[in-house]
Amino acid sequence: MKRNYKFLISYDGTRYHGWERQPGKDMTIQGKLETVLGKMTGAPSDDPVNLIGAGRTDAGVHARAMTANAFLDTDMSEDEIRSYMNQYLPEDISVMEVRACSERFHARYNALGKTYRYTCWIGPSKPVFDRKYVTILENRPDVEAMKEAAQLLVGTHDFKSFCGNTRMKKSTVRCVDTINIEENGNYLRLYFHGNGFLQNMVRILTGTLLEVGYGNISPVQVKEILEACDRQKAGPTAPPQGLCMMKVDY
pLDDT in tens, 187-241: 999 999 999 999 999 999 999 999 999 999 999 999 999 999 999 999 999 999 9
Q: What is the mean pLDDT of residues 65-79?
A: 98
Q: Is the pLDDT of residue 166 over 90?
A: no
**Distance in angstroms (rounded) separating the CA atoms of residues 74 and 163:** 40
The residues that are catalytic are 58
Confidence class for position 169, pLDDT limits 50, 70, 90: confident
Query: What does the mean pLDDT of the chain come to?
Result: 96
Confidence class for position 168, pLDDT limits 50, 70, 90: confident
Structural domains of the chain sorted by starting position, each given as residue range(s) with its CATH number in brackets: 3-100 (3.30.70.580), 113-249 (3.30.70.660)
pLDDT at 23: 83
DSSP string, 159-195: -GGG-S-TT--S--EEEEEEEEEEEETTEEEEEEEES
pTM of the entire structure?
A: 0.95
**Distance in angstroms (rounded) separating the CA atoms of residues 30 and 76:** 21
